[in-house]
Structure 1
Amino acid sequence: MSETASIFQQGENCWVSSKASYAAPLIDCANYYKALHSSLVKAKHSIFIVGWDIDSRIRLLHGEDEEQSEAPSVISELLAWKAEQNPDLKVYLLRWDSSLAFFSLREMWAKEVWDEKTPDNVETILDDTIPVGGSQHQKVIIVDDEVVFSGGMDISVNRWDTRDHPVVSEERNGPNGEYGPLHDVHAVYAGPVVKEFGNLVRWRWLRASESNPIDIREDAKIALDDGLPDAWPDDYPPWFENVDCALARTIPMMDDVEPVQEVRHMLLDLIAQAERLIYIENQFTSRLEIAEALNRQLKACPDLNVIIVSSYEPKGRFECEAFWASRIEFKNALFEGIDPDRVIMTYSSIIDENGRTAYKRFHSKVMTIDEKYLVIGSSNLSNRSMALDTEVDTIYYGNSEHNRSQIARVRDDLLAEHSGREVDETAKLTVTEKPARAIMEGQLAHRYMLTQVNDEVFTDPSSDNVFRSLSDPEEPLVAVPTLEGTSVPVKNPRRRTIMVGLGVFVIALLGGLMFWASQSISWLSADSIDAFLKESRGTYFALPTVLLVYFVAGILFFPVTVLSIAVAAVFGPVWGPIYGIMGALLSSATLFGIGKLLGNAGLKKVGGPKVEAVDQKLKRSGIVGVAAIRMLPIAPFSLVNLVAGISSIGIFQFLMGTFLGMFPPMIAKGLVGDSITKIFQNPSPETISYLVGGIVLWGLMIWGSQKFAYWYQERKEKGRAESEECAA
């Protein structure tokens, strides 16, 4: 086959056609992360990382590889280590900005986290240029403009797994605990194609940033004669050499950018080339146009077989109704009028010797067309990947006998993993008359095996619905009409905008609830509470009544000062403060516990690094810090309790600080409250003087506590500084 026999047409089904001097697939995340770590350690000039996510917490190495490595394993520590070693090294991180829909999984304050963890020669930006509903889905890493990694994998949580995909693995541990087996495919390239990827990531950087990245190196090793570049990862020899390839993109309508659907056109053109076997593994199969194209080609070529492998179970309602319901329609369109022995849609699962079941989750985006073409990319077979998300796929063309055999090797290797066989077994099965049926027969127990999907157990076929329109759209969710009669898509809101809006909404909601309660609940007033307390005075129910009032008032954000004065007015200057502090401690503990639950549920992420720094200062200041906050009326009582629970301070420190900070002022409030009662009962210079004295005492205690807190904090910081100096 000659180069002119390929179907690559620049500007139609691909952006550019080029060559990879060397290329190797990286199957499953343990291999990708290990290879990436090796290349990053070797970086000398520049690193570009473009992704849907770039999580600073991710460990690239596990087990013995991590123990034996001299370089850090965690991605943020590794990049900081490299950047500090070589100040001339330039590192550029571009991550999709909007992440509200993935709150529980993604770092909410990603830019601030990266800026805090890395030196100045590591630059981070969040890409907010994508239309509402779309995402930055390209996954590209370039090292020294000589080696590029691209495919389906992100540096993100819940991705790492080994090729054997054990049913249970302590290493598969994410923010929400252990996750199940996960399969993905990436690739590493060297050669002229790296320059094309370099142009792509620099274009993306310039769209999202005001700064210019460094130019592409003129002395980069790109020719086959140059040999493997220095940054090529250890332990991963090339599979392909001097292979023709093309890059196909999806670019949505963005400001002054014309939309591009090269991926869509490439996949349709590739399907039309198939004669004997199409192998597909993909996270989603919801694009009906692809199913119809496969069906047409099956009818046009009687010898053609199609094997599709994807996930088994949907995650959540949106995925179920948007993608699994669509997969039922996809399957029906694919099978229409076709011998069922020629086409299968399957998932891979295992029941091990202990009776434990696991379903392999697929995140890969791979397609082979006979032994002629191989696709490894970021695009799902979904509506959004064809039109709305930014995507980039690499398409290999079998331009030599060696490269054609390697395309077959990739396909047979993947099928072996999913069906529990050896590669040489699947290689024999894929050349039989009906490989789809042959792959399904003779699978062994207690290994991974392929099973035909039956999505009706999860959902029904759906017409267009709200889930599909939100999760798998073709067009931006929000567009603004122009004077010319067209429309301009609205960009995804920036993370800061989302967080500020969320904060304003929460504050407004709390304020509205408090106002509603004050207007609608007849007993939630100072007069009603006072009358309720007076009924219990002199009875055994006095203390329980006060505790109940503080408990309910705390949850409803009723002002504690008003409550304390009311208790003092009813129970006097002695028992009033005693009852009041006991009620305040109960209310504090209750709201603290609620805050702790909210914090563990993920609310701590909303604050970001700056709030975390304040949190750590509060934790260091401990009892005295809490006491100072209690004495100074800088925030509502209930809000302080709630925030303290979300923070890292311990409950003992918090309650002790609350006691020390509130009891002295409460005595003063007792005098004030008792004086107010006596003034109404018997106005005299004596009762008025009690009132004035109580107010003055209250003010002096606030002033004195502030001075004491500043003095104590300075003394503590000075002692810490002296200790650190001695240690140094």
Structure 2
Amino acid sequence: MIIPFQRNLMTLFTPGRNVWNVDRAERAKVLIDAAPYFGALREALKKARHTVFVIGWDINSRVPLVGESGCAEDGYPEPFCEFLCALIKERPNLQINILLWDFSVLYSTEREIFPALSLGWKMPERIQLCLDDALPLGSAHHQKIVVIDDCLAFSGGLDITHRRWDTCEHDFDNPKRKDTAGKPYRPFHDVQMMVDGPAAKRIGELARIRWKRATLESVHDVRECSDCWPEAIEADFRNIDIGISLTQPRYDQIPEQDEVEQLFLDSVALAERTIYIENQFLTRLNVAERIAERMREKPELEAIFIAPHTHESWIEARTMRIGRIAFRKIFDAPDLENRVRFLYPKVVCGENVTDTMVHSKVMIIDDVFLRVGSANLNNRSMGTDTECDLSIEAADDETRAVIAHLRDTLLAEHCGVTAKDIAASLKETHSLLKTADTLTARGHSLCPVEDGEPDPKEIAAAVTAVADPERTVGIETFITHLMGERVPYRHISHSIQVAIGCLIVIALVLAWRYTPLSELTDPDTLRSHAVAVAESYWGPVLVIGVFVAAGFVLFPLTILIAVTAGAFGPWLGLIYAAAGAVASSLTTYLVGARVGKSALRKFVGPRLNRVTRRVAEKGVLAVAAVRLVPVAPFTVVNLVAGASGIRFTDFLIGTALGLLPGLIVLSSLGNQIFRVLADPSVADVFLFIALVVGWVCLSFGLQLFVTRIRGARA
């Protein structure tokens, strides 16, 4: 619910409403584009002595961390991972903590493969990587933060990853603008803010909160703060208050925070003449409505939105493009349309044409308000993903002059001119729109965005509900859509994953029977192979061996149990699957006991603490509880149990008790799969569906049961 805003006469910022905290920065600098940011970050990291936090939506170990020259000139390696390793070798007291969103498979093609290996396994012990999944299903960690010794912090729209580096010139064919595979990419624009003093220490507090939620580890504050500010960089602001606004979705016992959205809505009240916005996504309609309302209140007010030319991926084209069409439509009224522009940066070189990818999240109102952050102007950033924005409100003429200059600099970059050219045009035309429409040089200009016609509402609504939801997507939301009722909120994401797995299994069974896949998988042939294995003298031994081998590659235990039941029948399948599961668990338990917790942590990462906490009681009930409601993959639990020193008999008994309910249901389910494939009678299909539902209910019930017991103990 949006609370009516009553502005504090002294300041826009209201902690608990539109900012998390307000803290003083002795110095603050707006770093425009990745080359200046990477260069400043490199220099600052070389001054680190105690603790560094690197928090990102995406991080690439091979990206060159270099400044505007495009190469390292200090003797240290260029690739990010190698650069950090070199620093660690020189500084015996330095600890580096890297927190990376445990990203959705939808983004796997855009990311570095196996980040836990490339960023974690390669690095020294004092560089810790954690894949952070401490958030609701469907949410993303979207904050882009670096904190150095609690004395310097960076926050904005830039991750330390590939396809980000570019200079402010955004030349058409900069030969140094290549990704980690050596492929060139189009110009890229983004913005980061750098702050020191108490503001940096406060962002360090946020980093520690995130780290503890993800790893269950506390990191001590840095007591001896040094000056990590890069010497070659002149501050834009001095002794300035920084408003820190967050988005945090509700998760477990963590309350929701929506300061990012509230500040968007509240800050519009400051606007008198100009609103300048750069943003990758524009879909949040209530913000558009608030700006339109203010423009009607102030007839002289103009607004410019700088955005990407197009949304390229299939999902973005059917969510963010459709949302942007609706966002723009709010300004189609006769009294507004001539005072608003939606523009993209165009780059021409001879007969070649491209556009600059706008990834920045900037808002500048007149010369009184500046905002730089990670939050897009879309639904996700307002309530679903984690975000962090930094803002400055001018309290004197000097600050106002700096904010106006930064706006002019950003606009000049897109038009290919200088900030002085923008300032001169504004003085002459008294119009931000006329200035953006007319100034152009070096092949750079701002052109109108054309989004075309929207997709059918049914398609757009279905995709948007997942890709750009206003709030987190959980099992309760799914049930609400089906039943038309609202249900209480609970965190039961493991049950959701089980349900999704069941739906996939059902879909595969139907696909094998009624699609061309049936030609690839003949039921008679499949059954004959299964019978051959079952009748083989070595069949039981082979099954147990497969279970043990599969445990070392983290192959899903549920699939093995179902296939074993399908091959041997429900009763023998149950016995063999139980023997295989126990053999696999004991083998990996012994491996964990052998290698120890420290070596295991190197492979699994700091998230090992979550599993260790659950089995810390070292008893039968603890092991059984973890089996009933797994907090990590089957093999990881086994390794942790061995490394944690749980007694062998407790582990064995607890494993047997915890696996038994699932073994019984999955054995029946697996046997039924073959009957559905070979002779799919109506009765068999309904029985199969009933078993699937039973599996879901069992998992769901156990999740709630264990959660209530833990809650009662707490």
Q: For this structure pair, what is the TM-score category when the shorter chain's length is used for normalisation? A: 0.5 to 0.7
Q: Which secondary structure state, in structure 1, belongs to the residue aligned with residue 213 of structure 2?
A: helix
Name the residue aligned to 1:350.
Answer: 347
What residue number does 1:200 align with? 206
Deviations 1:198-244 (A, max 9, x none): 1101001111102222x2223325xxxxxxx2x11243211111112
CA gap 1:238/1:445 in 2 versus in 1, 3 angstroms: closer
CA distance in 2, matches of 1:396, 1:384: 24
TM-score (norm 2): 0.67
Report the counterpart of residue 271 of structure 2 in structure 1: 274
**Does the 8 Å CA contact 1:15/1:248 hold for their aligned counterparts?**
yes
**Higher mean Cα deviation, 332-341 or 255-264?**
332-341
Q: Are residues 507 and 345 of structure 1, via their aligned partners in 2, closer, same or farther at CA, if it must alter by over 3 Å?
A: same
Which position in structure 2 is the counterpart of 1:486? 488
Which 10-residue stretch deviates more, 365-374 or 400-409? Answer: 400-409
Aligned equivalent of 1:448, options 440, 444, 447: 444
In 2, distance between residues paired with 1:33 and 1:498? Answer: 40
Write the distance in 2 (CA, Å) between the matches of 1:334 and 1:506: 47
Q: Retained in 2: the 8 A contact 1:321–1:462?
A: no
Q: SS at 1:44's partner residue?
A: coil
Rounded to whole Å, the distance in 1 between the matches of 2:322 and 2:517 is 43
Counterpart CA distance in 1 for 2:176 and 2:280 is 22
Q: CA deviation at 1:89?
A: 0.6
**For 2:148 and 2:39, how far apart are their aligned partners in 1?**
15
Alpha-carbon separation, structure 1, partners of 2:459 and 2:396: 45
Report matched runs for 1:511-522 at 5 Å. 517=520, 519=522
Letter in 1 for 2:464: R
Tell whether the 8 Å contact from 1:131 to 1:492 is kept in structure 2 after alignment: no
Match of 1:210 in 2: 216
- Find the residue that maps to 2:71 and give its secondary structure: helix
Q: Does 1:232 align with 2:229?
A: yes
Deviation, structure 1 residue 507: 13
Q: Which of 88, 96, 111 does residue 101 from structure 2 map onto?
A: 96
Q: Per the alignment, do residues 171 and 194 of structure 1 end up closer, same or farther by CA in structure 2, a change over 3 Å counting?
A: same
Among candidates 30, 34, 47, match of residue 29 of structure 1: 34
CA deviations 1:227-281 (Å, max 9, x no partner) are: xx2x112432111111122101000011111111001001100011111111100
Aligned AA for 1:211?
E
- Count of residue pairs the alignment pairs up: 517
Give the counterpart letter for 2:522 in structure 1.
Q
Q: What is the letter of the counterpart of residue 188 of structure 1?
A: M
Deviation at residue 388 of structure 1 after TM alignment? 0.4
Match of 1:68 in 2: 73
Letter of the aligned partner of 1:472 in structure 2? Answer: D
For structure 2, the 5+ residue unaligned runs are 1-6, 480-485, 530-601, 604-714
SS at match of 2:109: coil
Q: Is the 8 A contact 1:320 1:459 kept in 2?
A: no
Alignment of 1:265-344 (within 5 A): 265-344=262-341
Distance 1:203 1:435, change over 3 A: same
Secondary structure of 2:490's counterpart equals strand
Shift of 1:485: 4.9
Q: Which residue number corresponds to residue 158 of structure 2?
A: 153
Q: Does structure 1 residue 113 correspond to structure 2 residue 141? A: no
Q: Distance in 2 between matches of 1:137 and 1:5?
A: 31
Contact 2:193 2:390 in 1 (8 A): no
- Aligned CA distance change for structure 1 residues 508 and 20 (closer, same or farther; 3 Å): farther
Structure 1 residues 334, 488: CA separation in 2 closer, same or farther (over 3 Å shift)?
farther
Secondary structure of 1:395's match? strand
- CA, structure 1 residues 38+330, in 2 after alignment: closer, same or farther (shift >3 Å)? same
Give the aligned residue type for 2:208. R
Partner Cα distance (1:513, 1:456) in 2: 36
Measure, in 2, the Cα distance between the counterparts of 1:54 and 1:494.
28
CA distance in 2, matches of 1:63, 1:279: 26
Structure having the higher Rg: 1
Q: Partners of 2:173 and 2:359 in 1: how far apart?
A: 19
Sort the Cα spacing of 1:362 and 1:65 in 2 relative to 1 into closer, same or farther, 3 A: closer
SS in 2 for 1:455: coil
Q: Is the 8 A contact 2:152 2:201 kept in 1?
A: no
1:111 positional shift:
1.9
Tell me, yes or no, if the aligned pair for 1:476 and 1:490 is still in contact at 8 Å: no
* Superimposed CA distance per residue, residues 522-572 of structure 1 (whole angstroms, 9 cap, x where no aligned partner): 9x999xxxxxxxxxxxxxxxxxxxxxxxxxxxxxxxxxxxxxxxxxxxxxx
Aligned to 2:461: 465
- Asked if structure 1 preserves the Cα contact closer than 8 Å seen for 2:276 and 2:365, the reply is yes
Q: CA deviation at 1:463?
A: 8.2
Partner of 1:112, secondary structure, is helix
Match of 2:245 in 1: 248
Q: 1:518 touches 1:525 (CA, 8 Å); kept in 2?
A: no
How far 1:113 sits from its partner (Å)?
A: 2.2
1:14 pairs with one of 11, 19, 22: 19
Farther-moved stretch of structure 1 (199-208 vs 397-406): 397-406
What is the one-letter code of the residue matched to 1:288? L
CA drift of 1:373 comes to 0.9
1:475 aligns to what? 471
Task: Please give the root-mean-square deviation of Cα atoms over the aligned residues, in Å.
Answer: 3.7
Would the aligned equivalents of 1:99 and 1:495 in 2 still touch at CA under 8 Å? no
**Residues 691-706 of structure 1 correspond to what in structure 2 (within 5 A)?**
none
Query: What SS does the corresponding residue of 1:318 show, helix, strand or coil?
Result: helix
2:86 corresponding residue in structure 1: 81
Letter in 2 for 1:192: P
Shift of 1:83: 1.3
Letter in 2 for 1:83: I
Q: Is the 8 A contact 1:141 1:150 kept in 2?
A: yes
Q: CA deviation at 1:516?
A: 6.2
Q: Secondary structure at the match of 1:245?
A: strand
Deviation, 1:336, is 2.3
Q: CA deviation at 1:191?
A: 1.2
Distance 1:169 1:32 in 2: 18
Contact 2:37-2:192 at 8 Å conserved across structures: yes
CA contact (8 A) 2:295 2:336 kept: no
Amino acid at match of 1:404: R
> What is the Cα deviation at residue 520 of structure 1?
6.5
For residues 467-616 of structure 1, what are the structure 2 equivalents within 5 Å? 467-480=463-476, 485-491=487-493, 517=520, 519=522
Q: Pick closer, same or farther for the CA change 1:303–1:256 going to 2, 3 Å.
A: same
**Alpha-carbon distance between aligned partners in 2 of 1:503 and 1:235, rounded to the nearest angstrom:** 59
The offset of 1:76, in angstroms, is 0.5
Distance across 1 between alignment mates of 2:58 and 2:312 = 19
Residue 395 (structure 2) aligns with = 399
- Cα distance in 2 for partners of 1:118, 1:502 equals 37
Structure 1 residues without counterparts, runs of 5 or longer: 222-228, 527-608, 611-728
**1:250–1:300 Cα change, 3 Å:** same
Mapped to 1, the partners of 2:125 and 2:82 lie a distance apart of 14
Instruction: Confirm or deny: 8 A CA contact 1:130 1:492 kept in the other structure.
Output: no
1:419 is aligned to: 415
| Paired residue type of 1:367 | M
Give me the whole-angstrom Cα distance separating, in 1, the residues matched to 2:67 and 2:239.
Answer: 33
Cα distance between partner residues in 2 of 1:493 and 1:135: 19
Displacement, 1:147? 0.7
Q: Could you tell me how far apart the structure 1 residues matched to 2:46 and 2:265 are?
A: 40
Cα 1:75–1:4 change in 2 (3 A) is: farther
Relative to structure 1, the CA distance from residue 390 to residue 308 in structure 2 (aligned partners, 3 Å threshold; closer, same or farther) is same
Matched residue of 2:60: which SS?
Answer: coil
